[in-house]
Amino acid sequence: LIDLQDSRLLGLEQEFESELATLEKEFNSERKQIASQHSREVSELNDIMNAIDVEESEREAEARQEHEQLREEIRNKNLEEINVLRITLDTQIEDLEQHFETAHWNYLNNTDQRTTEFKNLTRKDQELSKEIEQKIRKIDRLQSQLQHWKMKIAQNLKECNERNSNLKEEKDGIQKHFQNLKSRMNRFRSTQKDRLSELTKNANEAKNLLKDKCELGERILKLSELGRKLETEGEKVAPFYVSSVEEEIERQAEEMTKKAREEGEEEAKGEVEVTPLSSSAWSDSTNKPVGKWNHLDNFWKKYNKVLLDALAIEKEEEKLKKENADLQEILKQYFDGISVNDGVLSKDNCLFVTNFKVNLNKPMPVRREDAGRMTFVEGNAVVNQMNRGQLNR
């Protein structure tokens, strides 16, 4: 089957090639024939065009020659007719001039008196015309003056109206401005009145606040005098303890001040440098002016010490209360052990001994070895930490 198909395809291919060759041959022969026919037709058309051009040029030359001849004939004929017409018109003009002169002399002889009257009337008419022209010029001048004065009156009226309108507008503007100024003055007066009342109120409040502060200061001074009487000899000699974290606090404060200055805060800018004139206190250790926020350091040290002492006393009081309660419980258990009643029998009792051990409700109090050492937190450190937190917020 494959060989048969190959042979069939080969036959079809050979047939196709033969038909293709035949078509190419026919196409080439037909193309040559069309090209030869086209060249013949082109040559024929060129010959026809050349013959037509020659014929048209000959015809044009003949027409031009005939036109020139006809034009010469017509020009000669027109010249002859013009000469004849000129001669005829000259004779007619001479006859008419002779008749006109004759008629003119006859008219002059017949109308001599009328001519004199006409001249008189003409001269009178010229005089009247001159007078009329003068009157007309005068009338025109008067009319122009009248028009000028009318225009001037209209212009003055217009200017007066404009001036009146401008003055009215200016009056309205001034009145409006006056009303605005009046309203502004009233508002300013009311504002100043409110400010004055507020200032008075604030002054009274500030006065009361200063009075309260003075009373508080007097109370603080009285309490300080009373507290000084109760101070120990050591507190009188060294009233302020030396902070163990003072250097660390100062370093952190400098870092916070530098950071605030970089961020452009006005309050931090005011804290950059403390001059002797801006401070009313001096440090004994550094011999420099005390900073704005360090004026109450000694007060806080003393306050923190008192606060810590109060906390220690409260702790000691709680401890003592607890020991007292334990001792009271032990004493109660002891009394319950040596007496017999219904209350004692209903509860655990030390009289019942099991395995040589008494049954007590509470263990005996035992004093710890580290009970004397208590953990304290420095109040100044806590206050500074709270201030730093507020500044950060």
Does the predicted TM-score (pTM) go above 0.85? no
- Is the predicted pLDDT of residue 117 greater than 90, yes or no? no
Euclidean distance between CA atoms 32 and 36, whole angstroms? 6
pLDDT tens digits, residue range 168-180? 999 998 999 999 9
Residue 286 is predicted with a pLDDT of 61
Residue 321 is predicted with a pLDDT of 94
Tokens of 100: 């006109």
In what helix (H) or strand (E) does residue 136 lie, and over which residues does it extend?
helix 112-229
Euclidean distance between CA atoms 183 and 385, whole angstroms? 55
What is 74-101 written as a DSSP string?
HHHHHHHHHHHHHHHHHHHHHHHHHHHH
- Is the predicted pLDDT of residue 358 greater than 70, yes or no? no
Q: Report phi then psi at 280, rounded to 5.
A: -105, 5
Tokens of 263: 């961020």
pLDDT tens digits, residue range 271-330? 445 454 445 556 655 666 666 666 677 777 777 888 888 899 999 999 999 999 999 888
Tokens of 318: 């709680």
Euclidean distance between CA atoms 385 and 292, whole angstroms? 17
Check: CB of residue 379 under 8 Å from CB of residue 300. Answer: yes
- Is the predicted pLDDT of residue 242 greater than 90, yes or no? no
Euclidean distance between CA atoms 213 and 359, whole angstroms? 63
Residue 291 is predicted with a pLDDT of 66
First vs last C-alpha separation in the chain:
100
